[in-house]
Chains A and B, each alone.
Chain A
């Protein structure tokens, strides 16, 4: 049901992307024409403004606001909304709207909280642009271009800390691994094209049927394995996770946050159309095998992530493994037949994951800022930077406790309700082993999550100074805390909102 529009009206559907492009251009111009503090402030403000604008416009597509509907030139409520440009190369559809919203809010928070050099911001926005294109296309080539824009800018972002050896090492690892994974995805896509003779995801199933599902079945499995391996790298899922700890540790914290949150979310959103339009919907090819492969990957991610996290002494490494475990939780709803409720479970936990992780990263940036003031060269994120935080900054410590409880899946937080819904789905599908792995590894995760709490409340830190209080950082952290609690106490509005978007009646 894609309407092909090549008109001004359709271009209006690209407004969020265009805003981001504008901010990138302005950022580069400012970088060359201005200097000092003015440059930094100007680039940051422009980036933030563009992201906020893009977020509001994306929200506008979803909400039935009359003035906005008039503006984009649609006569009735914007939902159900499916607009396509250039034969599906650019598509606005419900899942892409949620995806874009999550990505934009996350990037907005990273810009708000992070303090980096000027070039970081337009690189960040370029990567964001890649992620936004990635989620709003049905065309395999555009999909890959979006993915590469995201990946290649991410490599540069990791390498930004030029003088640091660990960052350079991380960048090298990331670029090699990332390159391989991109190649795997491309290889897998080439099989899809070979089987179906089409690049449009919506037309591929018909193409495969034409070729005869039985005849191409082995190729279908092969392409699935290649693509899953490639995306597995991007979302840092075991057993394709080995790059994550080193890269997370070596990068600047805002970059780490971007990789852990935006990059991962984009990877999942890339997986979506491929799974649901090609692999799970193929007549004549039972999807059980695809389900099983994903189940094994999810189980491995939960086990490896949580077990490895226990022994970490660096918070960013710890969060890398915790992210691997969370990839496992997030994969769970995607390993079953497609139903609305599984999609909602996935998005609910994704939103909770994004929020709680950004909150924790905001706290880490906060702490590192404090360390930097003493020792410019070595802004480490060892677990002991949290030591005695409660004595230095009680409010920040309490905020961190809420975020960590959410990560650990304890009640009254978004993480708890997210896990509740995922388990609810898993039990509806009678997947008791996966439920047991989810809960068992959650208990393991208590050990390392509470390790951070132990540092904050039960150890005394070396410096007794109050940590610097930056308003934007406080704002970032506390909005994440508030959102986490709201998600934990009032789950139904968000749940029903997602439901309404993915399945407008």
Chain B
């Protein structure tokens, strides 16, 4: 199989560990600041959140665009256990290797940077938080560790650990600082995502005991070279095992005398089961159509700064996991189910758009809009070609930036008006010109105006999809028209429309305006100069597509 498993080792060996654990520094400092010193807590948290941006920026700048492989790799055996197991009556040494492995390629790198950026911007937005700052900021930084870890982890257990690590702070953040029905929202978040995690856990252990299982040594003549059975959770090795016919043949051959034949290996139906399990597990996070109810509640109950992270990054963890684990482990299944993926994508896109059109509540509108936009990611995956995948990754980044900007604005708006109901808001451009202008930018980016990031991603996803599923593409484009309609309805109502609140309000303070400007800058940057993103992405996707084609041809 080729280049996928190869990795380059850099001169700075622990850069990614430093990146993932960098929020820990802020946590330690915050722990020693008395909880009454609100201003200091806020300042420290904001400064602490800049550190990951610096490291992520350094990684981005030093990333080799021409090598599509994992870079900045760190790998050591975190848990290594050996024991003797009996296969039949033959004692065979078994070894379990759990890796601590981090690495970034062109797909995860942009997401790592997005995480650092949106998390820092959310810290700025958190100045509007009214109570218990110390705990709040510590939890936000723990959340950041989890998110950075998910996008850099290269072993299944580590990935799962970080994936779960985001669950715990989110429960607190929704349940303590949310609106009226916060506890209910926190519970629903916990149970739905817990279910997703459980399914993921099921899949991961299943994969480790099957695809992670290899045999070394001489399988023909045991006396010559004692065979050893290995279990690993290292993602590249598993991807390799899954698609390397030699490994499978070797293990099958070896297991035959023990009457175990294919039990340890993945039959076709097992592969399908695993693929569907992973699709559901990550689909809950994404969220995919029937599993989306929990995220509506989170969007409408959690504080705006938390939703920035939730909508901006946490949803992308689902998409990223599906890409990194689901699609790359089971490319054949992905290809065969491409039509279904595309249909799911279109359903998400249209359902989200129709529902968004009917909302009278800005937060709910944006929540449905997120569902709709996540549909485009699924469409990109379903396209099953480089440009489609590229569009999906672009969409992850673009939607991350846009929804972070939107919820930043929602927070500022709610702070001033005390409502996010569309019918109570109107004519804001008069009293809040800056916020209104930003709202307009976010809206235009969301509906895919050329020159802004949303356009690039949607265009690529649709071009990719058109190659394979032209009919579905036509239907999906209908969703784009709907998007324009609901976004304009919402945004225009708030910015122009009838003046609803006549009291004088102060426009955005510097601390609010700064993140809005930064996010807008990135939205425009990607819109007019997409190669800032496609630079690292292209080569990785190229390698990846090459690898997928190779395995499909070979396996």
- Give A residues with C-beta under 8 Å from B: 339-341, 344, 390, 405, 410-412, 416, 420, 423-424, 427-428, 430, 432, 435-436, 439-440, 442-443, 446-447, 450, 453-454, 457-458, 490-492, 495-496, 499, 503
CA distance A495 to B83 in the complex (A): 10
Is A446 touching B164 in the complex (CB atoms < 8 A)?
Answer: no
A-B contact count (CB 8 A): 89
Q: 25 A-B residue contacts at CB 8 Å?
A: A339-B85, A340-B83, A340-B85, A341-B85, A344-B83, A410-B168, A411-B160, A420-B205, A424-B96, A424-B208, A427-B205, A435-B202, A435-B205, A435-B206, A446-B194, A447-B190, A447-B191, A453-B171, A453-B172, A454-B175, A454-B186, A457-B176, A458-B176, A458-B183, A490-B79
Given A427-B206, A427-B208, A446-B194, 18 more A-B residue pairs with CB atoms under 8 Å apart are A340-B85, A344-B83, A405-B168, A420-B157, A420-B205, A423-B202, A423-B205, A428-B209, A435-B202, A435-B205, A439-B199, A443-B197, A443-B198, A446-B191, A450-B187, A450-B190, A457-B135, A503-B84
- Minimum CB–CB distance from B258 to chain A (whole Å) comes to 13
Contact assessment for A442 and B79 in the assembled complex, using a CB-CB cutoff below 8 Å: no
Min Cβ gap B155→A in Å is 13
Scan B450-462; emit 1 where CB is below 8 A from any A CB, else 0. Answer: 0000000000000
Give min CB distance, B182 to chain A, whole Å.
8
CB distance from A491 to the nearest CB of B (A): 6
Beta-carbon contact of B165 and A411 below 8 Å: yes
Could you say which residues of chain B place their CB within 8 Å of the CB of A428? 209
Closest 10 CB pairs of A and B: A439-B198, A411-B161, A427-B209, A443-B194, A492-B79, A446-B194, A423-B205, A411-B164, A443-B198, A340-B83
> B190 to A446, Cβ gap below 8 A?
yes
Please, how many angstroms separate the alpha-carbon atoms of A435 and B207 in the complex?
13
Chain B residues, Cβ within 8 Å of A424: 96, 205, 208-209, 231
**Cα A428 to Cα B206 with chains together (Å):** 8
A491-B79, A492-B80, A499-B83 given; A423·B201 CB < 8 A? yes
How distant is the Cα of A411 from the Cα of B208 in the complex, in angstroms? 17
A447 and B79 contact, Cβ closer than 8 Å, known pairs A423-B201, A503-B84:
no
Residues of B within 8 A of A436 (CB): 202
Residues of A with C-beta under 8 A to B223: none
Query: Is there a chain A Cβ closer than 8 Å to B500's Cβ?
Result: no
Whole-angstrom CA separation of A472 from B279 in the bound complex: 49
| B80 (CB) vs chain A CBs: closest residue | A492
| Interchain CA distance A440-B186 in the complex, whole Å | 19
In the complex, A237 Cα to B205 Cα: how many Å?
Answer: 26
B263: chain A residues within 8 A (beta carbon): 430
User: Which residues in chain B, 277-321, are within 8 Å of chain A measured between CB atoms?
Assistant: none
Instruction: With both chains docked as a complex, state the minimum distance between the C-beta of A433 and any C-beta of chain B, in angstroms.
Output: 11
B397 shortest CB reach to chain A, Å: 27
Interface set of B (CB-CB < 8 Å, partner A) = 79-81, 83-86, 94, 96, 135, 157, 160-161, 164-165, 167-168, 171-172, 175-176, 182-183, 186-187, 190-191, 194-195, 197-199, 201-202, 205-206, 208-209, 231, 263
> B175 contacts which of A344, A411, A446, A458 (Cβ < 8 Å)?
A458
**Assembly CA distance A420 to B209 (angstroms):** 12
Q: Compute how far the CA of A339 lies from the CA of B92 in the bound complex, rounded to whole angstroms.
A: 12
Q: Is the CB of A439 within 8 A of B202?
A: yes
- Interfacial chain B residues near A412, Cβ < 8 Å: 161, 165
A91 → B minimal CB distance (Å) = 24
In the complex the two chains form, what is the Cα distance from A65 to B205 in whole Å? 39
Q: Which residue of B lies closest to A490 (CB)?
A: B79
Report the bound CA distance from A223 to B168 in whole Å. Answer: 47
Alpha-carbon separation in the docked complex, A198 to B187 (Å): 56
Q: Smallest distance from the beta carbon of B202 to chain A beta carbons, Å?
A: 5
How many whole Å from B158's CB to the nearest CB in chain A? 10
CB distance from A350 to the nearest CB of B (A): 17
Instruction: Tell me, in angstroms, the Cα distance from A12 to B411 when the chains sit together.
Output: 72
The reply to whether B81 and A492 contact each other, CB–CB distance below 8 Å, is: yes
Residues of A close to B171: CB separation below 8 A: 450, 453
A454 B208 Cβ-Cβ under 8 A:
no
Determine the chain B residues whose CB is within 8 A of the CB of A457 once the complex forms: 135, 172, 175-176
User: Could you tell me the distance in whole angstroms from the C-beta of B520 to the nearest C-beta in chain A?
Assistant: 35
CB-based contact B187/A447 at 8 Å: yes
Partner of B86, one of A339, A423, A430: A339
Chain B residues with CB under 8 Å of A492's CB are 79-81
Residues of chain B with a CB closer than 8 A to A450's CB: 171, 187, 190
Compute how far the CA of A499 lies from the CA of B95 in the bound complex, rounded to whole angstroms.
13
Chain A hits for B195, CB < 8 A? 443
| CA–CA, A420 and B208, complex, Å | 11
